[in-house]
Every structure is written in structure tokens, then in C-alpha cells.
Chains A and B, each alone.
Chain A
């Protein structure tokens, strides 16, 4: 199983699950990162963190530590 922070630029994936119930997880859910959401990694910041993704109709940036909470399945 992959976590979101392990993806490379340009890769597409589908959210499988998110671990935990704290504020970070709640915010990820609110922003539309929930089971079944498809996303694409657009870029990594020049210093390697954070990461920019596209989901639904918009773009989101999140830190690697936050992305690590999101388990994904790679899409072809």
C-alpha cells in the first residue's frame, strides 16, 4: 500500500483510506480527500516539501507529514 507522500510528480491515484481522527484528518476529509477521491500529484516544492495535488476541481497543497496519513492506490 502506498501513501500519498510516496507518489511522484504526474502520478494519479485514488484515496483508499485515511488514518486517525484528529484535526489533520478532519481537515483532509473536509477538503474532499475521502475514500474514492481521485487525485494527481502536480508538484513538489523546491525544498521537497510540501506537495501540490489536484483533486475534484481544484488544487491543494499539503505537507508530506500530512500526506503520509493518506493511503492511496495508484491509477494507470
Chain B
């Protein structure tokens, strides 16, 4: 019976390795297109699962996050250990572990491999980048290495597909052999450590697996320590400290003893089988690095690269976004023309199609940014960029890795937040994600243009300075918030910034394409539905009630008015019809649920100098701030104003809407400024919040972001208005 159950289950392989070892490339080569992303509760990193077929046998393979060590300091780092030990899901314990190592940097890569050996599962060592090692004059005797390590060793070149068949054959062979009967080789810790480990294990009543007891002893302040002390009380902390004290006196202090033991064993194991050249050859990486990390050239090249990324997101993406919008609008119009007016038509056209459009419109920027990031990461420049910017970002309590996500957020926070995946420190990633929406994104620009154009003319320098000030507001507030977060909510022990500077190499087109499409697809699948739902809710809040006080349908009134319009009428008559239509639209919006909420909330907006119309437009813009311009247009009876028209007008303030706003007595310069500041600081973007939820795997962070930014925006707008009206 048990035999039958084992036979039915597809063998599961876990893939682990250091970052920059070509792990993802190997996983893609093994699993092909057959992949899905797995999420674990409480963890912000993701794993991928794929299926592998070899000689009529099926295998499942799980790709774990790249890591240098199994010593876990956060739930994210604990994931690899949990998965390998089968703690996440008992039936999901891997049958074997594939450890991929960079052959050109064998010793340090083997450190993780020796930790995996301790877990007792069958292990296959994959020597990747054997060509790079050869290029550096290293020769590796794989058979001898295999004998010394006591595990199978397969040399491959994942990027060229060399050695994959041998690897698959080795996987099948390893799973078919009786692993337990092999002679087990692994680093042996000093006797003092073993006896402390046994003692601790007994103290924990044998409830904790041996491997984790050893980690508990070794990882000072680590995840397991924190976790177990919470369960077993402070006595355990005291005993742990005493045990470490005894170890230190016995000449094997933690954590040093682990590195000493493992590296000594590794050196012995690799000594005879790795031949190094007497003189290290001067490599390509040396040449390139001499330029790219140079004080002057390095800085100039870095700035040029960053400027290119920004211009790409800011200038090259919008035309594509416009095509997408025009395409959606075209289809929506076709459907609209073929249906009778009513809630269904409005739901499809104004709710669903607008919603789908507002999702698809993010794709160009997301995919462009991920393509660039994939290139930068794969060629090795990402680490250099982080190296160059680290000092600057450290002033805000972040690291150099936060720079690109924050820069990208100046174009759009959605790809920016997604790109925060490059940050491996959990607290830094969260802080970066939470402050990214403070960066003035391109969707704020139409609102800035409209109000600056209408109220801060005619001097161009006043307008320019105001726009500059609004951008600076984000650039100043974001680091301050990040700094405060790192001191309060996200406080923890000083994070480690030790970062490998990988070798430069030509990026793989396949990997770049894959990551680009993965990013786009993931956004559509994970965030798309939620964004669509939000858009439909907002549509409903603005659509209902559908009838005016006399029970007449707004939509039919508009249709009746528009039916009167024809090309034969004179210009004045046609203008009159247009004005009437806009008046009905305005009345409809004011009567809508959202309009009534706006009126009800007016006392809240008063201290900002706003009347209920501005308040309502601001509230209608919470799902997507670019809606502000259109909503203001409808409320003030100017019809559906397009952001494009505002953009074309620039700061001239000569659009109908600008002129109309200038006539409104409530709209003074302090009020315009207070609206501007509110928009600069507020998180009026459902897509951003949905993506934060997706990236942090919890609703806490989007809720936090929304609340703190709304409070900040309100306080900012309040101060600006109250100070502004003194003059």
C-alpha cells in the first residue's frame, strides 16, 4: 500500500544555488515553458515549480531563491530550509537536491553545497560555467571532485544547453539508487560542538530536527532562535548563550566555527582536483570594471544609463500606451454603437473596457523596465550600479539596490515596485516599495499641467519652478519616510550589504525575453483582476442612481439630446446641444453615489480650501489619479476632457477646462496649490496598491501605504492652503 503511494507520486527535485550561478537559466532549460509560481504564506520571495520529462519519466522541480547560505535571518531566507525539510508541506519533501555552483568560483559556492549535504537528502552537484573556469585557466577533475565530495558531479553550460542530458540521466540514476547505503561524506564539526548540539537537542525533547538544532546553535539572533525562544521562553535564550559561551571557551566560537570547518573541508576536497594557473590572468572583468567603477567614467556611464532608463519609461512608452488606449477605445465605441443605452452598455464600455484599458496600459512600462533590468542583472552591471549609489541611498537607510526601483517610480510606481524584487534585504525591499508611490509619476503630470497652466501663469519661470517643486516634494519626502520607517516599523539589526560583484558577461537574449514576458504576464494575472474589479466599483459609484429626481434616465436624456444633433444645424445650435449634454453629464455626476459622498464629505475638504466639487473629483481619482482631469471636466460641464489635450496645451492654460476653472470663484492660487500638493503626496492609484499587495503577499502594506500617504497629502494640502491664504 505504502509502496503504491510512493510509486504514484512524481519525484520532486529542489534546485538551490548561490546568486549569479545561472540557476534560473538551468531551471528554464530543464522545465521549459511548463512553469508556475508558488507562494508561501508570510514570505515575500517566490518559488517556481516546473515539470521535467526524461525517458518516459516525469519529475517535478522546484526552484528556490538564490542564497549563499542556509543560515536564515528572516522568513524569506528560511523558505529554502523549510522546503527542503518538507516543513511547508509534508508530502512535498524533495527526493533529491540539485546544487548548482559556479565552476569559476568553486570554493565559495561549495559552502552552500556542504550545508545541503548536512540535510541528508541525495545531492547532485552541477558545475555550471565550466567554460568561464577554463577561460580563467582553471581545470577541474570532476571525477576526483565527485569522489572527494561523495556525491555525483555533472559539468554543464546551462546557457548553451551543454551537459543537460547527462544531468537528466544522473537525476534518474540517483533517484533509482539507494542513497542511504552510500558512504556519507561531509564536514565534521569539532567534538565540543557535537556534544553541545546533542545537549540542546535533548533540551528541546527531540522535537526539533538535528539540522535545525545545529543552525539554532550557529545562527546568533537568527530566525530559528527568534522562533524557538518565542515558543520555549527566555530560559532557552539563557541556555543558548551559555552553550555558545562554552563553545567559545573550547576554542570553537560561533559563527566562526562553521566557516572554519566547512572551508577547511572544502579546501581539502578541492585541493587535488582544481588546478590553478600560477598567475591569475587579467580578465575582461578586470578591464571593464576599471572603467565602470572608475570615479569619473563610472559615474558618467552610470548617469547616462539611468537617464536612458528614465527617458525610455517617460518618452518611449507613452506612444505605445496611447495605441493601447486608442485600440480599447475603438473597440469600446464599436460595442457602444451596437448597443442600446442602459446600465449594461455603460458597464461594458465605461466599467469593463475602461478597466481593461487601465490594466493593459501598464504593460509597456513594466515590460520595458524588466527587459532593461534583466539585461543589467544578467550582464553584471546591476551590482555595479548598486555599488555606485550605495553611499547616497544609505543616507535614507536604504542601499544602492533601491535606486533603480525608485528612479523607475518617477515614470510609474507599478513597474518600480515590481522591480524592487532586485533588493534581497526584506526590510529594505518593503521600505522601498512603501515609499515608491511618493515619487511623482507621469500620471500626475496632466493634473500638474492643468492647474499650473490655469493658475500660475503667465510667467513661465513660476510655472517651471512650481513643477520642479512638486517633483522635489516626492524626492525629499520619500527618503525621509524611508528613513523613519527603517527607524520604527522596519527596524531590525543592521542589515548586511556584503554583495558579490559577478563577472561581466554577454546577457542571454532568451533569459531577458523570458523575464520580460514573465513580468508582464504576472502583472496581468495577479494584479489584473483586482484592478478591473476596482474600476467596475468606481464605475458603479458614478453611474448610480441612473435616473434624475423626476425618474428620467440620465443616459436617455443624453441620447435624446445627441439625437437632435446633425451636420445640417448651424454652429450656435450645435454648441447649444453640446452644452446641454455636458450639463446633463455634470448633473448626473453630482447626483451619483460618489457625488453625494463628496457633498457629505465637504466639511472634511473645507480646511484644504476645497468645495465638494473638487473633493468629489479628488475622491473619484483615488482608483486612478489621471481620472482627475476628466472628472473635473464633467463636473464643470466641459464634457470628457482628455489628458492629451491638457498635455498639448502645456502650461498655456488655454483649454476650455482651464478657462472654466479660472472663472470658479473657489479656485484661487492657494486652492490650486493645495490640490497640487495633495496629488503629489497621495496614493491615488488602485493599481499601485494592488501591486504592493501582490509583491508583499499581504494586505497590511498596501493599507499602510494608503493611510500614511493620504494623511501626508491631507496635512500637506492643509498647510499649503492655510499658509497660502495669508498672503
Q: Which residues of A contact B (CB under 8 A)?
A: 18, 21-32, 34-35, 42-43, 45-50, 52, 56-63, 66
Contact = CB atoms under 8 A, between A and B. Distances in A.
B108 A56 contact: yes
B529 interface: no
Given A31-B68, A34-B259, A57 B104 contact: yes
B289 to A, nearest CB: 7
A47 B295 CA distance: 8
A58 B387 CA distance: 16
Contact of A31 (B106, B108, B218, B222): B108
Contacts of B108: 31-32, 56-58
Given A43-B293, A45-B387, A50-B497, 14 more contacts: A22-B221, A22-B493, A26-B220, A30-B68, A30-B111, A31-B500, A34-B263, A43-B294, A45-B293, A45-B391, A49-B391, A50-B391, A57-B106, A59-B285
A34 B293 contact: no
A62 B392 contact: no
A18 B253 CA distance: 12
Interface of B: 68-69, 71, 73, 104-108, 111, 136, 138, 218-222, 244, 253-256, 258-260, 263, 285, 289, 293-296, 298-299, 383, 387-388, 390-392, 394, 493-494, 496-501
- The binding surface of chain A is classed by DSSP as mixed
B500 A59 contact: yes
A74 B105 CA distance: 24
Contacts of A61: 383, 387, 390, 497-501
B66 to A, nearest CB: 14
B388 to A, nearest CB: 6
B499 A26 contact: no
Contacts of B69: 27, 30
Contact of A21 (B71, B253, B498, B500): B253
Nearest to B112: A30
Contacts of A28: 498
A66 B263 contact: no
A54 to B, nearest CB: 9
Given A58-B500, A63-B497, A45 B390 contact: yes
A43 B496 CA distance: 19
A22 B299 contact: no
14 contacts: A21-B220, A23-B493, A28-B498, A30-B68, A32-B259, A46-B388, A47-B388, A48-B391, A50-B391, A61-B383, A61-B498, A61-B501, A63-B390, A66-B498
Nearest to A21: B220
Pick the 5 closest A-B CB pairs, nearest first. Answer: A29-B259, A47-B391, A59-B501, A26-B255, A57-B105
Contact of A42 (B106, B289, B299, B497): B289
A41 B219 CA distance: 29
Contacts of A48: 391
B432 to A, nearest CB: 18
Contacts of A26: 71, 218-220, 255
A62 B497 contact: yes
A45 B294 CA distance: 8
Contacts of A34: 256, 259-260, 263
Contact of B299 (A46, A59, A60): A46
A16 to B, nearest CB: 13
A26 B104 CA distance: 23
A21 B107 contact: no
A33 to B, nearest CB: 8
Contact of A50 (B107, B387, B494): B387
A49 B390 contact: yes
A32 B104 contact: no
A43 to B, nearest CB: 5
Nearest to B107: A56
B263 A58 contact: no
Contacts of A42: 289, 293
Nearest to A31: B498
Contacts of B254: 21
Contacts of B136: 57
Contacts of A22: 220-221, 493-494
A42 B290 CA distance: 9
Nearest to B298: A46
Given A32-B111, A42-B289, A58-B105, A18 B256 contact: yes
Contacts of A18: 256
Nearest to A20: B220
Nearest to B390: A50
Contacts of B298: 46
Nearest to B259: A29
B259 A24 contact: no
A40 to B, nearest CB: 10
Contacts of A46: 295-296, 298-299, 388
A23 B69 CA distance: 12
A60 B219 CA distance: 22
Contacts of A63: 390, 394, 497
B367 to A, nearest CB: 30
Contacts of B496: 23-24, 27, 66
A30 to B, nearest CB: 5
A18 B221 CA distance: 18
A35 B394 CA distance: 29
Contacts of A23: 73, 220-222, 493-494, 496
Nearest to B263: A34
Given A21-B254, A32-B107, A27 B388 contact: no
A74 B601 CA distance: 70
Contacts of A21: 220, 244, 253-256
A58 B129 CA distance: 14
A42 B383 CA distance: 15
Nearest to B102: A58
Contacts of B289: 42-43, 52, 59
A62 B499 contact: yes
Contacts of B392: 47
Contacts of B394: 49, 63
A28 B285 CA distance: 23
Contacts of B105: 56-58
Given A24-B496, A47-B392, A52 B293 contact: yes
Given A26-B71, A26-B219, A43-B289, A60 B499 contact: yes
Contacts of B244: 21
Of the candidates B104, B259, B285, B387, the one having the most CB atoms from chain A within 10 angstroms of its own CB is B259
Contacts of B391: 45, 47-50
Nearest to A55: B108
A51 B78 CA distance: 29
Given A57-B106, A58-B105, A29 B498 contact: no
A69 B500 CA distance: 18
Contact of B71 (A30, A32, A58, A62): A30
Contacts of A47: 388, 390-392
A28 B260 CA distance: 12
Nearest to B494: A24
